[in-house]
Each structure stands twice: as structure tokens, then as C-alpha cells.
């Protein structure tokens, strides 16, 4: 597969001024994002089947809610996805903004129409990855989709998508801890401790440990290993 570097933005013309309905791509196959990852065809097949079994689609968020920043943000959905599927190009989505008769809804609608919120961005966890090819860092063959957001600064210019790699995501960490067997209460406690460690590290920066590309990307195995370690500490 040819890997290209092209910029395709979410067009303001693709949103209906009256209904708030819009369409676009949350991810595009085969091009490298700014973190060096490539989403491969078929990567969403299993996760879309899981969501279909639940009878719904992932949440529609603004800037990933508090997932994009652990200390600020808003997890309240801003609308709903009405269609989500893989096609030859990538993850195709259709959705509708909610609350257009409210101040918040009108503001979000206006930001999209003005081209300020010009990106679609997926929140995901890699479940099957391999070494990169042709300059890529990783080839992602399968991912677990968490949500799809409207954003203003995605890491993939072509797909307008990101995987939160430059931010700590407490929800994904909590999910990993729960998967490893921790209770919800213990998982939330562990996440709180981890946040405090991040604040400590920010006060004592280490260029090697805090390199945006090296430190922020955590594999599934690393996350589960962390979960097992925390579980052992809590049990002890």
C-alpha cells in the first residue's frame, strides 16, 4: 500500500445549517499520522461489530471531553453518530449535533460552520499492531474504538484523527485496570495516584522520559502490566 502525506480537512460545507447533520471520515487508511502510526484497512471491523451488538455507536465528544485533558473538559456528548462504517477510504461517519436551540449547541454549531472545529478525531486503543513500514512507526491492524470527537487540532492531517497519544487519558487507563481485574473503586484510586505522579513529573521535567513521541504511546501489554503491578500493590 502506498503511504501518502496529504491534508484533507473536515469541510464546513458538509454540515447542514438547519439540522446540524454532517458527515466525514474519522480515520483514513494508509497514511502516516504525526505520531508515526498508520491505520490499516479492516482495523475497525471487530470494534464496529462490538458496538453493533450493543445497538449503538461510540459517543460523539467535543475535543475528547475530559479524555483530552484530565483536569478540564466536558464529557457530555455533543450529538450522536447515526452511521459508522469502514469503506475503501477509511472510517466513514455520519452524525448530528444536538441542542442547537441551546447556547452551547449554537456555539459548537457555529465553530464548525466557521471552520474552527475542522477535524474529526478518534479515541482508540490498539489491539493488534506490528512494526512500521515505509517510514511508519507502527501499522495498526486492529483497534478498539472509544469515541469520535470534533476537534480543532488533530494529529493526522489527512484523516483528521488522533489517538490521544500526547495526552494522559484517564478513561483508557481505567478501562485497562478494570480489564486486569481491579474493581471500579480501586481503578479510580489508581488513576488518581497516576495523575498525582504526572503533576510531580511536570514539576521535575525529564527530557528523556517526557519526550512526546516516546513516553505517550503505551501498548496494550504495557498498560496491562501496569494494571497487574498496581493490583499487586493494592492487594499487598
pLDDT in tens, 214-232: 444 444 455 556 666 666 6
pLDDT at 43: 94
pLDDT at 48: 98
Query: What does residue 170 show for φ and ψ, rounded to 5 degrees?
Result: -65, -30
Percent of the chain with pLDDT over 90: 18
Q: How many CB atoms lie within 10 A of CB 232?
A: 9
List the chain domain ranges: 12-166, 171-235
pLDDT at 70: 44
Low-confidence ranges of the chain (pLDDT < 50): 1-8, 68-73, 159-167, 201-220
pLDDT at 224: 57
Closest CA to 91 of 11, 160, 36, 157: 160
pLDDT at 205: 43
Q: How many CB atoms lie within 10 A of CB 60?
A: 21
pLDDT at 88: 92
Q: What is the DSSP pairing of strand 138-151 with strand 37-39?
A: parallel
pLDDT at 201: 46
Packing angle of the helix pair 220-235, 170-179 (nearest 10 deg): 70
The 3-state secondary structure of 73-99, one letter per residue: CCCCCCEEEEEEEECCCEEEEEEEECC
pLDDT at 57: 96
Is 162:154 a contact under the CB 8 Å cutoff?
yes
Over residues 83-124, the pLDDT tens digits come to: 999 999 899 999 999 999 999 899 998 888 887 887 888 888
Amino acid at each position: 500500500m502506498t503511504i501518502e502525506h496529504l491534508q484533507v480537512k473536515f469541510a464546513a460545507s458538509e454540515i447542514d445549517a438547519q439540522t446540524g447533520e454532517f458527515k466525514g471520515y474519522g480515520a483514513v487508511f494508509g497514511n502516516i499520522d504525526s505520531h508515526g502510526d498508520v491505520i490499516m484497512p479492516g482495523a475497525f471491523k471487530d470494534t464496529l461489530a462490538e458496538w453493533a451488538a450493543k445497538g449503538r455507536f461510540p459517543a460523539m465528544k467535543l475535543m475528547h471531553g475530559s479524555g483530552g485533558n484530565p483536569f478540564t473538559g466536558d464529557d457530555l456528548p455533543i450529538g450522536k453518530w447515526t452511521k459508522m462504517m469502514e469503506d475503501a477510504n477509511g472510517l466513514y461517519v455520519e452524525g448530528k449535533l444536538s441542542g442547537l436551540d441551546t447556547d452551547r449547541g449554537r456555539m459548537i454549531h457555529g465553530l464548525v460552520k466557521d471552520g474552527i472545529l475542522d477535524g474529526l478525531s478518534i479515541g482508540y486503543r490498539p489491539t493488534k499492531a506490528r512494526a512500521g513500514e515505509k517510514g511508519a512507526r507502527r501499522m495498526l491492524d486492529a483497534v478498539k474504538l472509544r469515541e469520535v470527537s470534533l476537534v480543532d487540532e488533530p494529529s493526522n492531517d489527512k484523516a483528521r484523527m488522533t489517538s490521544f497519544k500526547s495526552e494522559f487519558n484517564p478513561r483508557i487507563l481505567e478501562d485497562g485496570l478494570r480489564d486486569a481485574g481491579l474493581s471500579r473503586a480501586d481503578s479510580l484510586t489508581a488513576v488518581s495516584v497516576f495523575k498525582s505522579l504526572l503533576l510531580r513529573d511536570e514539576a521535575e521535567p525529564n527530557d528523556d522520559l517526557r519526550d512526546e513521541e516516546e513516553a505517550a504511546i503505551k501498548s496494550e501489554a504495557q498498560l496491562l502490566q501496569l494494571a497487574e503491578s498496581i493490583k499487586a500493590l493494592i492487594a499487598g
